[in-house]
Structure 1
Amino acid sequence: MLADEIGMAEAAVALSRTFGLSRRQAYRYLELARAGAPPLAAENSVTITLKMPESLARGLRAHATARGVTTSEVVRQAVAAFLVVKRRHG
């Protein structure tokens, strides 16, 4: 889409509709593509439910808001980082 000189807004809407992404996520993918980053492997997401202390949930939401990402993205990054460290240290 970017090679065809379609505008970012139009491309984001098209990606959002085609792949069921949020517009924010579509913009992120477009920014990665514009920067020449290698494509991310597509994988289906599943919904899980977590229970945590209210104060931790407030901190999670505040952290996500301050960085302009979703709480799901913060949790995904944290779990992925935890699993990488866990694999290294057994």
Structure 2
Amino acid sequence: MARATRTHKARLLNVAYRLLAQQTEVADAARQLEDEFALSRRQAYRYLEQAATLSAPVPAVEPTVAITFKLPVSLVRALRANARRSGLTLGQIVTQALTAFRGAFQRRRG
């Protein structure tokens, strides 16, 4: 069976979090997760265990798609060094940079 996507996992965790926040009995919450998401009992309990450690719902994760492009070697080296220092992935760094660029571009265009 395929692993859950980040988006699906976030949704499952948030539903589990909501059930626990509503003080639903753990066994009942597990059954609801099993029924709603076609999970095994073990999977449902794992999501409930993870949700119990949360202090708030997890933010919704937008689906991503892989993209390939060529960059100068020096830029890639700098990005990788930045990723190591910051603890972020290359994808996260590029997403932040492109989001900032897009925002600035849209502001200029009015």
Same fold flag (TM > 0.5): yes
Alignment of 1:1-90 (within 5 A): 18-20=4-6, 34=55, 36=56, 39-90=58-109
Q: Percent identity at matched positions? A: 39
How many residues align? The count is: 62
Q: Which residue of 2 aligns with 1:8?
A: none
Larger Rg, first or second structure (1 or 2): 2
Structure 2: segments with no counterpart, 5+ residues: 8-50
Q: What is the letter of the counterpart of residue 93 of structure 2?
A: V
Aligned-residue Cα RMSD (Å) equals 2.4
Q: Which runs of 5+ in 1 are unaligned?
A: 1-16, 22-29
Structure number with higher relative contact order (C-alpha < 8 Å, ≥ 6 residues apart): 2
- Larger helix fraction of residues: 2
Q: Distance in 1 between matches of 2:68 and 2:61?
A: 22
